[in-house]
Amino acid sequence: GDGGPAKVPWPGTDYWYEIEKKADAEDPD
């Protein structure tokens, strides 16, 4: 797919944030 930023939901909130798509994107910490 594209290598641009992905918007993902912040757990437990209505807030969405952008992260860079990476192989370890499951843990953006």
Dump strand ranges (E) for the chain: 5-9, 16-20
Please give the model's pTM, rounded to 2 decimal places: 0.34
Grade residue 5 by pLDDT with cuts at 50, 70 and 90: confident
- Predicted pLDDT at 23: 56
The per-residue pLDDT for 12 is: 92
b/e for 2-29, b at 16 or more Cβ within 10 A?
eeeebeeeeeeeeeeeeeeeeeeeeeee
Q: What percent of the chain has pLDDT over 90?
A: 3
Chain-centre distance for alpha carbon 18: 5
Question: Is the predicted pLDDT of residue 13 greater than 70, yes or no?
Answer: yes
**Do 9 and 15 meet the contact criterion of CB atoms below 8 Å apart?**
yes
Average pLDDT, the chain: 73
Does position 7 have pLDDT exceeding 60, yes or no? yes
